[in-house]
Structure 1
Amino acid sequence: MIDALARLRREDVPALELLFLQGVMAWVFSEENPGSDYNRSHASYLAGALFTGLDDAGNTSLSASPPETAKISAARDRVALGANALASYGEAGLDMLLEQRVLPAMVGELERCVGNQTQQGACTWTYALFAVAMGEGHDQDPDVVEGLIESFDAWSALLSQL
């Protein structure tokens, strides 16, 4: 998992976004989604989708991707920088990402959005990528969140046309 964070390049981030989006949405709309009473095992599945996306992003060619606005571009820059920064801390960076950020927040977002799978997908996707973008720091840059939300909406619009 550390290698996947270290390998992420800026040009791979759109593929990461799409692969992770597909994994998240497949799960939230599946029979595996219990609809309530979420726990770490549910969050772990979604974290696994994040790492599958990270691992496969560099080997994925996109036939189409949404237009990149300034906010999306800035958010993607931060995702790549954050992934590389987390990797530089080894196991401590991985622990920070998963144990301190992604897993607890995913449980919270799944619970907060009970009954709305699309919102569950949007919130868990955005937060997980934001957690990567934060790197080892604790700066919660609202512009990065806005760029990730824009990216989610752009991917949703593009995929709805296919």
Structure 2
Amino acid sequence: MSKNITAENFEVLIANILDKSNDILLKCIDKVMDKSNENLEMIIEISNKNLAKTMEKCMSNSVTDCMKELHSAMSTLGASVSKSQQQGVKLNISPMLETMTMALWTVERGKKDEERRSQKLRICVTLNSLSAAENLIASSKIFRSFPATKNVFIISGLSKRQAEQASLMR
């Protein structure tokens, strides 16, 4: 069973073994490279996803911060507008208050004038005797139209002194 191996056969045999070894080595290297590429692609994909999530989170945080700042600015602006409106109302209130005060004063003056007119109501009474007229005149705000008659005018708004002066003037 032993064969004689010649140098040429030995070289051919070694060349075949080397070729097969090279083929196997190349296949192994290809498989390793394929696996490495797959792993690299997975790492890149995962990195991209993480980067996207991180960017999304950062953007979300940035947007949230911007929205908070915007909300704060809008609140400040709203408060400023409200204060400006209040000041504007205050500026417009002064003339309006003056007008309303004048109107109320006019109405009040009209009421007082009406009261005064109603208090100066004159009632003419004819009494039976001059002594009754004298007693009535002495006790209240009354004066006679003519001293010699029994006619007496009653004016409710006059004081006793004013009634006496009115009586003297007639």
Name the TM-score class by shorter chain.
under 0.3
The structure with the greater share of residues assigned to strand is 2
The TM-score, its normalising length taken from structure 1, stands at 0.16
- Which structure's relative contact order is higher, taking Cα pairs within 8 Å and 6+ residues apart? 1
